[in-house]
A and B are shown apart, each in its own frame.
Chain A
Amino acid sequence: MPAKCLLTFIGIILLVSAFFSSANEKIPKNETTVFNETFSWQAMGNIALIYNPSLLQGQDQGNGPYRLGLSLLLDIYYKGFFIQSNHRRASGILQGAEFGYQLVVTPEWELDFISKTYLPSYTPKDIIDHANKNIPTLEGLKERSAGNGIGLRYSRYHHNSVLSVDFATLSPLSDADGWIIDVFYSYVLPYRNWDIYLSTGYTHYSEKVMDYYYGIDANEVSSARPFHQSDAGDRIQLELFAQYPIADKWSFTGGVTHSYYSKSAKESPLVDTQHVTQVMLGVLYVF
């Protein structure tokens, strides 16, 4: 069934791409691709105070969900291949970075082959050690590896906004073995030297993805953790992010994201809440 959905979705994307390709025939040929662009890169360092509570029960104990994040971010582009870090995300060099290849580029839309981490890993033992307290729901639970996926991203650009749709499978690169649809819309509101981003997102996680992260296998059952098989789940996000230049190479970055997860997430014995609010305040240095 997911394979059929994947094929259907790819078909829709290709049809939509073909439609817009023909609609944009008036655009000069040299503007429809960027394959003749030269190599470009940008390296950045980010220091941020991050409030990042978890869906998982007990994870926010110990030092709490606050942490100071230090990251090295890289943007590299060469003849259609790209690595794009997320400037706002203070979660290390790779998590949050997107590796890809531009299949079709026009000024209005773009189709990329993409690989990125869609879901973070978690190690129950480390969470318990960090909390310095036993967390019965996580005690003896197996590690969940990162949800690295590959797929297609369709991006539609408007003046000051972008709508992107990712359709990705986690099967080849992750133990999660499922698929994800991720829709994200972001509108930038420039105010003097500020960039203010108003964004919203919708993510659908297939049953296998949800079950890998929030399901309880028969061999993981305990008194605090009954057997649980997760259904497919959804997430809706609202985000406000702002960036302001402080000096030649420095900028202030700050943002808040609120995520609402569907009932299927909350039904897991591992999960505490359906609502998660994350906050990040930091400075970005461009090398």
Chain B
Amino acid sequence: MYSKWDIGIVLLMSSYCLTFTVSAQQKSAEINLSTLLSAMPAKCVTLTQGRQCFATVTLRWQAPIIGNYCIYQVGTNKALDCWYNQQQNTLIFEFESSKSVQYTLVENNSEQVIADTHIEVSWVHKASPRKRRWRLF
């Protein structure tokens, strides 16, 4: 039904596709390994739900190649900071938010997000429908 040539072509194409897929996965893995954006601390704890949380946060980033990069806070258009002809760096800033915030590392020329991280805001006491009166003794 099928000639030897037909079977050969199918095998050759399958082999090529398999090789291409593996290669693409390896490349993606390499980019993921070499691209990094991390926050320290990654969590900010406030006393009461809904209250502003304060922390001195260090964002570390690392890109696969030297280039121009900026860190953005998701939801705002203004970059927290930008770097030119660099492959890695750190940003220290004063975090202040009542909600969790996501940050992205963007490659300037392509405007492509290459990494992201977030700082989670949590709390000790949930918001109460009652206003509290506090007293020690």
Query: A37 → chain B, closest Cβ, in Å?
Result: 4
Contacts known (A248-B124, A257-B137); A157 close to B45, Cβ less than 8 A: no
Residue A148 at the B interface, CB < 8 A? no
Interface of A is mostly: strand
Tell me the nearest residue of chain B to A153, going by C-beta.
B133
| Contact of A251 with B137 at beta-carbon distance under 8 Å, contacts A40-B128, A75-B128, A155-B131 already known | no
Does B97 have its Cβ within 8 Å of any Cβ on chain A? no
Please choose the segment from B24-32, B46-54, B71-79, B103-111 that sits at the chain A interface, where 4 or more of its residues have CB less than 8 A away: B46-54
A residues 251-276 touching B (CB-CB < 8 Å): 251, 255-257, 259
Mask: chain A, 152-178; 1 = CB below 8 Å from B; 0 = not: 000101000010100000000000000
* A237 cross-chain contacts in B, Cβ below 8 A: 137
Query: Counting CB contacts under 8 A, is B136 at the interface?
Result: yes
Q: Pick from B43, B47, B126, B134: contact of A241, CB below 8 A.
A: B134
Which B residues are in CB contact (< 8 Å) with A29?
none
What are the 10 A-B residue pairs with the smallest beta carbon separation, nearest first? A192-B54, A245-B45, A37-B129, A255-B136, A88-B136, A257-B137, A278-B137, A251-B124, A257-B136, A245-B124
Interface of A toward B, CB cutoff 8 Å = 34, 37-38, 40, 42, 52, 75, 77, 82, 84, 86-89, 102, 110, 155, 157, 162, 164, 184, 186, 188, 190, 192-193, 195, 197, 199, 201, 237, 239, 241, 243-251, 255-257, 259, 278, 280, 284, 286
